[in-house]
C-alpha cells in the first residue's frame, strides 16, 4: 500500500531563470495530506496560489506555464518532473518571480533539494489516475507528424521517440522505453538537460525567451556539434530529456499516473493537449487508491 508523501523541512534555492534571465528564489515547504502541489507567487502584494493542475495550463511555448487570472508561473516542468519522479504528492512552492529557476537545465538539482528536505510518508493512502482506455492526440502529417498516446498499464511506463535533423542528435539513441520508478528516475532520467541551438538564440531572445540560457543550464549545439566542453551526461540524453519533460507535464493530471505514455516528437504543448483530452474523457480513466483497488470514482 502506497502512502502519500511530502517533505519534512523547508528548503530553498536561488538561480537564474531560463527565459527572463532574471534571478528567482523558490522555497519548498511541507503540506498536509490531499493538498497536492501548489505554487504561491509571494512577490505579489496579495499572494496568489496556483494549483499545479491542468485547468490552469496556459502558454506552452518552450515551457510549461500555469496561469490564474493575470498571474503566471512558468518553466515549472523540471520541478514538476522531480516531484512526480520522487513520488511527492503534497508540497507548497513559494516563488518570488514569474518563473522557476532553470538551475542546471535538468531536474537533478531539484532531486537533490527534495532529498535534502527529507521525503516522508504521510498517514493517508496515495491516489492514482489509472488509464482504462486508449487516448491519443496527433498534429501535422507526413514527416512532420507528432503524436502522443496514453494506454492502460498497471504501472508507469514511458516510450518516447524523437526525430531531429541534426547530426549530433541523429547519431544518438532516438528511442527509449523505461519503467518509471523513483530509482530509475534518479539514475536514468533526472540528469538529462534541456537542449537548444546557438543559431536560434537571437530570435528567441527577441521575443523574450531563453534570455538566461547558457552552457551552464543547457546542451548547446551549432549546426554540427555540441559546444559544451564536457559533452553529454547520457549517450541518449536528448530523448531522455523529452521523457523528463513529459513526466512533469503528466503530473498536471493532479495525481500520479498508472498507465503507459507513448509519444513521437511530442513536446509541452502536445503533452498538455493530451492531458486535457484525457480529463475530458471520463470513461477512459479512473481514480484508484493504490493500483490494485476498486475505483474511488
Is 241 annotated in some ligand binding site? yes
In order of 55, 76, 226, 266, the CA distances from 280 in angstroms are 11, 23, 41, 20
Catalytic residue among 40, 92, 264, 268: 268
- Please name which of 131, 134, 133, 130 lies closest in space to residue 149, comparing C-alpha atoms: 134
Assess whether 92 carries a catalytic annotation: no
Beta strand extents in the chain (DSSP E only): 3-7, 11-16, 23-30, 37-41, 48-51, 65-68, 71-74, 91-95, 119-125, 127-131, 135-139, 146-151, 156-161, 175-179, 195-197, 219-221, 257-264, 285-289
* CA atoms of 275 and 253, how far apart (whole Å): 7
CB 7 within 8 A of CB 24: no
Is 249 annotated in some ligand binding site? no
Is 78 annotated in some ligand binding site? yes
* CA atoms of 200 and 203, how far apart (whole Å): 6
**Which residues participate in catalysis according to the annotation?**
268
Known binding-site residues equal 78, 241, 245
Binding region for Zn(2+):
78, 241, 245
Amino acid at each position: 500500500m502506497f502512502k502519500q508523501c511530502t517533505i519534512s523541512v523547508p528548503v530553498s534555492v536561488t538561480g537564474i531563470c531560463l527565459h527572463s534571465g532574471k534571478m528567482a528564489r523558490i522555497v519548498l515547504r511541507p503540506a498536509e495530506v490531499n493538498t497536492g502541489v501548489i505554487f504561491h507567487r509571494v512577490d505579489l502584494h496579495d499572494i496568489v496560489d496556483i494549483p499545479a493542475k491542468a485547468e490552469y495550463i496556459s502558454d506552452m511555448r518552450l515551457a510549461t506555464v500555469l496561469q490564474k487570472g493575470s498571474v503566471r508561473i512558468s518553466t515549472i516542468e523540471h520541478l514538476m518532473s522531480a516531484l512526480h519522479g520522487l513520488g511527492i504528492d503534497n508540497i507548497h512552492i513559494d516563488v518570488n518571480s514569474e518563473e522557476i529557476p532553470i538551475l542546471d537545465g535538468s531536474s537533478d538539482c531539484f532531486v537533490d533539494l527534495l532529498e535534502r528536505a527529507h521525503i516522508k510518508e504521510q498517514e493517508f493512502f496515495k491516489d492514482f489516475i489509472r488509464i482504462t482506455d486508449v487516448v491519443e492526440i496527433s498534429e501535422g502529417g507526413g514527416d512532420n507528424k507528432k503524436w502522443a498516446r496514453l494506454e492502460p498499464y498497471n504501472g508507469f511506463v514511458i516510450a518516447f521517440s524523437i526525430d531531429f535533423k541534426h547530426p549530433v542528435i541523429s547519431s544518438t539513441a532516438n528511442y527509449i522505453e523505461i519503467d518509471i520508478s523513483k530509482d530509475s528516475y534518479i539514475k536514468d532520467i533526472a540528469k538529462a538537460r534541456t537542449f537548444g541551438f546557438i543559431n536560434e538564440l537571437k530570435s528567441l531572445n527577441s521575443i523574450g525567451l531563453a534570455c538566461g540560457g547558457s552552457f551552464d543550464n543547457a546542451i548547446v549545439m551549432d549546426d554540427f556539434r555540441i559546444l559544451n566542453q564536457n559533452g553529454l551526461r547520457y549517450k541518449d540524453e536528448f530523448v531522455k530529456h523529452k521523457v523528463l519533460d513529459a513526466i512533469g507535464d503528466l503530473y498536471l493530471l493532479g495525481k500520479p499516473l498508472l498507465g503507459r505514455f507513448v509519444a513521437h516528437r511530442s513536446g509541452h504543448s502536445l503533452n498538455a493537449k493530451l492531458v486535457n483530452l484525457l480529463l475530458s474523457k471520463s470513461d477512459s480513466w479512473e481514480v484508484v487508491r493504490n493500483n490494485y483497488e476498486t475505483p474511488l470514482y
